[in-house]
Amino acid sequence: MVRDRAHPAGASRHLVDAALEAGAGRSVQESICFIYAGRGHAWIDKDVPLDPPPFGRANEAAEVQARRFTEAGGTGVELRFGRFYAWDSTCTRYMRRMARRRLPAIPGPKDATRRPSPPSARPPGPGTSRTTGRRPAGSSTGRRPRRSAYGRP
């Protein structure tokens, strides 16, 4: 079925079928860490049960295919990535905006993070350390990051 091939879980199944037929020794499946259930501050490892949101169900199905490859005698690798960022990405700009407001950069339930300790009576100026009130060594004004030779901070 054509639609099945376009679906991520179906595509992974077809890739594993082809790898097994070709005698490949290793199959690498990318996934994402968002498919874990929320556990507050508890440690999460590969043995924690999955509870993917609707957009993560295809990842869970793809991981099933990686395990099928391993069960057939190959080496199936599942890479569960975290958050991606780059200096100019939407995600990074969002996290910077939230940090400037002293808000959590990753959305979640209110009790998922501890509130920061209250600021001192007189907050330090831009670019200064909260603990010492001084700028980090080698920093300029603290307002703009220095540019590297490649034109990026």
User: Residue 75 pairs with which residues in a beta bridge?
Assistant: 26
Please choose, from the candidates 29, 27, 45, the residue with its C-alpha nearest in 3D space to the C-alpha of residue 37: 45
Residue 107 has a pLDDT of: 62
With a cut of 60, say whether residue 63 has pLDDT above it: yes
Residue 150 has a pLDDT of: 43
Q: Which domains does the chain have, with CATH numbers?
A: 2-81 (3.40.50.720)
Please choose, from the candidates 24, 23, 47, 25, the residue with its C-alpha nearest in 3D space to the C-alpha of residue 36: 47
Please choose, from the candidates 30, 49, 24, the residue with its C-alpha nearest in 3D space to the C-alpha of residue 39: 49
Regarding pTM above 0.75, the answer is no
Q: Any idea which residue has 């002293």 for tokens?
A: 102
User: Residue 77 pairs with which residues in a beta bridge?
Assistant: 28
Interval 109-151: pLDDT, tens = 555 544 444 444 445 555 544 555 555 555 454 444 444 444 4
Q: Based on the number of CB atoms within 10 Å of its own CB, is 12 exposed (0-12), middle (13-18) or buried (19 or more)? A: buried
Copy the structure tokens of residue 62.
Answer: 């793809």
Residue 86 has a pLDDT of: 78
With a cut of 90, say whether residue 98 has pLDDT above it: no
Residue 110 has a pLDDT of: 57
Residue 15 has a pLDDT of: 92
Residue 126 has a pLDDT of: 54
Interval 5-51: pLDDT, tens = 456 568 889 999 999 999 999 999 988 888 888 777 888 888 888 88
CB proximity list for 119: less than 8 A, separation 6 or greater: 130
